[in-house]
Amino acid sequence: MVNKEEFRKKIINTAGQIFSRYGFRKTTMDEISKALKMGKSSIYYYFPGKEEIFEAVVLNEANILRNELTKAIKSVESPLEKMRNYVFVRMKAFEKLSNYYNAIFDKNLDHFDFVETIRAKYDREELAILRLILYDGARKKVFSVANSEYTALAVQTALKGLEVPLFWKKKDVDIEERLNGILDVLFYGIVRK
């Protein structure tokens, strides 16, 4: 292979597909290697172990999500649409990612530390983005936000609340419909005017 780093990416992609389908536990090194048309032991030349591959996959997925999100809010102008796009893309992504999570918290106690780390970092980023959208909206006289920090936190809390059913069982609730409900409240409030 020309470039070692290039092949690592290939492994991350291939493994990512299998992980997303079967989760961490049910995915075997043998499967990954077979999918790569490669001896099982050869993978250990590129990664120290299964967990490290998974870590790289999750990190990669987080980056992809970040890109999609920034693209989503850049694709429209109005703060209203930015907010709508952001939450929709975010929730769609989490729907897809729920397999990974289901896999991790499968049954056993041992959460992977790095997932928490990535998640924490991601949460901070999200808060910043939300604040930016809110702030921008306020500047453009579209939103009327008393405190963008607290409002951003409120939005984030609502989104996290929507994640929960994703990780339990899928398809029980229509996420899209509930998202619209949340956005409605967010945009127009519950107080009659």
Q: Binding residues for DNA, per CB under 7 A?
A: 1-2, 4, 7, 25-30, 38-42, 44-46, 48-51, 108
How many CA atoms within 13 Å lie on the side-chain side of 192? 0
Q: Are 131 and 148 in contact (CB under 8 A)?
A: yes
Contact between 26 and a second copy (CB under 8 A)?
yes
Between residues 68 and 106, which has the closer beta carbon with respect to a second copy?
106
Q: How far apart, in Å, are the Cα atoms of 22 and each of 31, 132, 139, 141?
A: 11, 37, 46, 47
* Minimum CB distance to DNA, residue 24 (Å): 9
Residue 51 interacts, among a second copy, DNA, none and using kind-specific CB cut-offs from 5 to 8 Å, with: DNA
Between residues 50 and 84, which has the closer beta carbon with respect to DNA?
50
Structural tokens at position 161: 């609340």
Within 100-129, which residues bind a second copy (CB under 8 A)? 107
Contact between 167 and a second copy (CB under 8 A)?
no
Q: Are 103 and 26 in contact (CB under 8 A)?
A: yes
Q: Is the dihedral of CA 64, 66, 68, 74 positive or negative?
A: negative
Contacts of 104 (CB under 8 A, 6+ apart): 23, 24, 111, 112, 115
Among 34, 66, 92, 178, binds a second copy (CB under 8 A): 34
* Minimum CB distance to a second copy, residue 34 (Å): 8
Residue 10 backbone phi and psi in degrees, to 5? -65, -40
Residue 22 interacts, among a second copy, DNA, none and using kind-specific CB cut-offs from 5 to 8 Å, with: a second copy
Neighbours of 3 (CB within 10 A): 8
Contact between 96 and a second copy (CB under 8 A)?
no
Between residues 52 and 116, which has the closer beta carbon with respect to DNA?
52
* Minimum CB distance to a second copy, residue 108 (Å): 12
Applying CB under 8 A, which residues contact a second copy?
22, 26, 34, 107
